[in-house]
Amino acid sequence: MATVTLGKTGLQVEKNGFGCLPIQRVTKEEAAYLLRKAVDGGMNYFDTARSYTDSEEKVGYAFDGIRDKVILATKSHAQTGVEMRKHLETSLRNLRTDYIDVYQFHNPAFCPKPGGEDGLYDAALEAQAQGKIRFISITNHRLKVAHEAIDSGLYATLQFPYSYLAGPQEQELVDKCRQAGMGFIAMKGMAGGLIRDGLAAAAFMAQQPDVVPIWGVQHEWELDQFLSCVRQEPEMTPDYQAVIDHDRKELSGDFCRGCGYCMPCPVGIEINNCARMSLMLRRAPTKEWLSPKWQEQMEKIKNCLHCGQCKSKCPYGLDTPHLLEENYKDYQTFLK
């Protein structure tokens, strides 16, 4: 088993964390089964969020009576301190606990600071003084905010998208966090479904000793795969490297990484998924992408104002509106 010390928090975290977003899609009993099996298999870091519908409730139900065996991380997407206090009380109730280990501002558009008009950081400090949260942390999809958070010295951990498809910008964040004594939690370790080989993904993560990936788990076979990595940390083999090299080659150039740096879009286009729909349909075939919900999302592309906001923010230099149009056209061929 590989343990990571989460920066200056000193928390001893099993290298493979459990991302609790996908358990929204299974029943309470199924979720509890997966979560408890994860603990029995050696996992101890569980990351959920106030905005993941009933995920917190399922986590609280599963870990009732074994709170001391798990490290709980959740998030608040509150825009004000008043709202954050309410979120925190709901999270504590849902999680059936009187403290949260890692409390994260959920992808704010700016870096909350003490004395800010929003009151977010002050509310977190107050909660910390009351013993309701142990560490104040942040998640983000924006490089600028992530850098500001690290440079501020105000945060215990940063959660950011990171996988073997990451570029030098993300690697710089990992390295900066290490130097700053901040924990680095990797979201989207499977690049939001573009990476298909969990063991190759884990072998890459094993080469980054300070990074804690939180693997999204919905199915038992997914959990089993990551529990095998808990028992025996995967080493980079020529076979895994070949998978990684193949994916890096296939997914190089003008493809959307799903990072979301370009959002929000003024007409509500979910760019981070819609601009890579063709890839998702081919690499991760699932009927879900053709469901009425996603058809509706894809239809929003027709409302694009061509304002260029997304294009100017994409760190990969993509012509995002054009990419959306291409994906829209391709999507229609799947619906025939």
Binding site for ligand SF4 (CB under 6 A): 256-262, 265-267, 269, 271-272, 275, 304-310, 314, 316, 318, 320-321, 324
Minimal distance, residue 276 CB to ligand SF4, in Å: 7
Q: Which helix (H) or strand (E) holds 12?
A: strand 12-14
We find the least distance from the C-beta atom of residue 268 to ligand SF4, in angstroms, to be 8
Q: Report the C-alpha gap between 61 and 76 in whole angstroms.
A: 20
Question: For residues 60 and 321, which CB has a smaller minimum distance to ligand SF4 in the complex?
Answer: 321
What is the C-alpha to C-alpha distance for residues 16 and 12, in angstroms, rounded to an integer?
Answer: 12
Cβ contacts of residue 147 below 8 Å, gap of 6+? Answer: 173, 176
- Written as one letter, the residue type at 263 is M
Nearer to ligand SF4, 222 or 330 (CB): 330
By three-state DSSP, how is residue 330 classified? Answer: helix
203 versus 318: smaller Cβ distance to ligand SF4:
318
Shortest Cβ 320–ligand SF4 spacing (Å) = 4
Q: Which is nearer to ligand SF4, 124 or 275 (CB)?
A: 275
Q: What is the CA radius of gyration of the chain?
A: 20
Q: Do 152 and 111 meet the contact criterion of CB atoms below 8 Å apart? A: yes
**Least CB distance from residue 303 to ligand SF4, whole Å?**
7
Provide the minimum distance between the beta carbon of 16 and ligand SF4 in the complex, in angstroms, as a whole number.
26
Question: Of the two residues 70 and 256, which places its CB atom closer to ligand SF4 in the complex?
Answer: 256
Q: Shortest gap between Cβ of 274 and ligand SF4 (angstroms)?
A: 8
Shortest reach from residue 327's CB to ligand SF4, in Å: 11
- Cβ density class 67-86: b for 16+ within 10 Å, e for less: eeebbbbbbbbbeebebbbe
Question: Which of 99, 316 has the CB closer to ligand SF4?
Answer: 316
Our CB check for ligand SF4 shows the closer of 20 and 263 to be 263
Burial class (CB in 10 A: 0-12, 13-18, 19+), 167: exposed
Q: 3-state class of 151 per DSSP?
A: helix
List the alpha helices (DSSP H) in the chain.
Answer: 28-40, 55-62, 81-95, 120-129, 143-152, 168-180, 198-206, 220-231, 238-250, 271-274, 277-283, 292-299, 309-313, 320-335
Nearer to ligand SF4, 26 or 143 (CB): 143
Q: Give min distance, CB of 294 to ligand SF4, in A.
A: 16
Which residues, in sequence order, are bridge partners of residue 71? 45
- Give the number of other Cβ atoms within 10 Å of residue 248's Cβ: 11
